[in-house]
Structure 1
Amino acid sequence: MNKNAATQLHIYSAFFVLAGFVLNRGVFLLFLAEKGMPVTEIALYQALFNIATVVLELPTGLIGDFFGKKFSIQVGVLLLFFHTAGMLLLSGPFLVVLSLVEALAYSLQSGSEQALLYEIARNAGQGERFLTINARLLAAQSIATGMAIVLGSFIAQVSWSALYVCVSVFYLLQLFLLYPIERTEATRSESSEKGRFDVAKIFRRETWCIGESAFAVLLLLIGTSMLDGFYGSYYNLNQLVFDAFDAPVSIIGIFFGASYAVNATAYIAADFFSLRFGKRNTMLGSMLIEAGLFMILPWFASNPLCLFGLSMVLCFLPEVVYITSENLIQDAIADDLRATILSVASLVRALFSAVFFSIFGHVLGLYPIQIALGIIGAIAIAITAVVSLKMVGIQVSKN
Structure 2
Amino acid sequence: MKRYGRNIGLNYLYVSLGSMNLTHGLWMIYLASRGFNLVQLGILEGIYHITSFLMEVPTGVVADLWGRKVSRIAGRIVSVASLAIMFYARSFPLQAIAFVATALGNNLESGAGDALVYDSLLLDGREHKYMKVAGKQELVYQATLIVSFALGGYLALRSYAAVFGLSMGFFTAAAVCAFLFREPHIERNEAFGRHGGLLGKIGNSMRMQLVESLAIMRKRGRIAFFIVFSELLFCLITVQFFYLQNHWIALGWTEFDIGLVFAANAVVAGITAVKAAKIEQRIGERGVLTFMPLLMLFCLWGVATTPFGQVFFILVGCVEGILITAVGTYINRLIPSAQRATILSFQSMAFSLFMIVVFPAVGAIGEAWSIPTAFVVMAVAASLLCIPYLLVVKPYSIKE
TM-score bracket for this pair, using the shorter chain length: 0.7 to 0.9
The TM-score, its normalising length taken from structure 1, stands at: 0.81
Structure 1's 5 and 376: CA in aligned 2 closer, same or farther, altered over 3 A? Answer: same
1:110 and 1:346 in contact (8 A); partners too: yes
| Amino acid of the structure 1 residue aligned with 2:122 | R
Structure 1's 368 and 82: CA in aligned 2 closer, same or farther, altered over 3 A? Answer: closer
- Note the alpha carbon deviations across 1:81-127, whole angstroms, 9 max, x for none: 33345567777554542332222111111121122121123334431
- Note the alpha carbon deviations across 1:282-335, whole angstroms, 9 max, x for none: 3332223434x269649x82x413x43234324432432333222211111111
2:67 and 2:183 in contact (8 A); partners too: yes
What are the within-5 Å matches in structure 2 for residues 220-235 of structure 1? 220-235=226-241
Q: Aligned partners of 2:78, 2:370: CA distance in 1, in Å?
A: 44
2:253 aligns to what? 248
| Amino acid of the structure 2 residue aligned with 1:248 | W
Q: Aligned partners of 2:220, 2:81: CA distance in 1, in Å?
A: 39
40-49 or 180-189, which moves further after superposition? 40-49
1:136 aligns to what? 136
1:69 aligns to what? 68
1:202 and 1:341 in contact (8 A); partners too: yes
1:57 aligns to what? 56
Return the offset for 1:369: 8.8
1:220 and 1:390 in contact (8 A); partners too: no
- Note the alpha carbon deviations across 1:220-248, whole angstroms, 9 max, x for none: 4223322332333234344466578x463
2:198 aligns to what? none
Return the offset for 1:260: 1.8
Return the offset for 1:29: 5.2
1:25 aligns to what? 24
Match of 1:304 among 288, 299, 307: 307
Q: Aligned partners of 1:39, 1:387: CA distance in 2, in Å?
A: 37
2:339 aligns to what? 337
What are the within-5 Å matches in structure 2 for residues 36-51 of structure 1? 38-39=35-36, 43=41, 45-51=44-50
Structure 1's 177 and 373: CA in aligned 2 closer, same or farther, altered over 3 A? Answer: closer
Q: Aligned partners of 2:47, 2:371: CA distance in 1, in Å?
A: 30
- Note the alpha carbon deviations across 1:268-289, whole angstroms, 9 max, x for none: 2323302333344333322234
372-381 or 84-93, which moves further after superposition? 84-93
2:114 aligns to what? 114
Structure 1's 232 and 33: CA in aligned 2 closer, same or farther, altered over 3 A? Answer: closer
- Note the alpha carbon deviations across 1:350-381, whole angstroms, 9 max, x for none: 22134223444555677899986665334223
| Amino acid of the structure 2 residue aligned with 1:176 | V
- Sequence identity (%): 18
2:5 aligns to what? 6
The reply on whether 1:269 has 2:269 as its aligned counterpart is no
Match of 1:203 among 214, 217, 220: 214
The TM-score, its normalising length taken from structure 2, stands at: 0.80
Match of 2:223 among 217, 224, 245: 217
Unaligned runs of 5+ in 2: 195-200
Return the offset for 1:345: 1.1
The reply on whether 1:393 has 2:392 as its aligned counterpart is no
- Note the alpha carbon deviations across 1:63-85, whole angstroms, 9 max, x for none: 11221222111111122233345
Return the offset for 1:190: 4.5
Q: Aligned partners of 2:189, 2:335: CA distance in 1, in Å?
A: 20
- What SS does the corresponding residue of 2:4 show, helix, strand or coil? helix
Structure 1's 100 and 234: CA in aligned 2 closer, same or farther, altered over 3 A? Answer: closer
1:80 and 1:171 in contact (8 A); partners too: yes
2:265 and 2:317 in contact (8 A); partners too: yes
Q: Aligned partners of 1:377, 1:91: CA distance in 2, in Å?
A: 35
| Amino acid of the structure 2 residue aligned with 1:275 | Q
1:286 aligns to what? 292
Q: Aligned partners of 2:252, 2:335: CA distance in 1, in Å?
A: 45
- What SS does the corresponding residue of 2:19 show, helix, strand or coil? coil
2:15 aligns to what? 16
Q: Aligned partners of 2:95, 2:372: CA distance in 1, in Å?
A: 40
1:29 and 1:42 in contact (8 A); partners too: no
Structure 1's 13 and 84: CA in aligned 2 closer, same or farther, altered over 3 A? Answer: same
2:177 aligns to what? 177
The reply on whether 1:258 has 2:290 as its aligned counterpart is no
Unaligned runs of 5+ in 1: none
Return the offset for 1:144: 0.8
- Note the alpha carbon deviations across 1:146-189, whole angstroms, 9 max, x for none: 21232244445665555544333323321222122121144857
1:225 and 1:346 in contact (8 A); partners too: yes
Q: Aligned partners of 2:6, 2:338: CA distance in 1, in Å?
A: 24
| Amino acid of the structure 2 residue aligned with 1:255 | V
2:289 and 2:393 in contact (8 A); partners too: no
Q: Aligned partners of 1:267, 1:67: CA distance in 2, in Å?
A: 31
1:266 and 1:316 in contact (8 A); partners too: yes
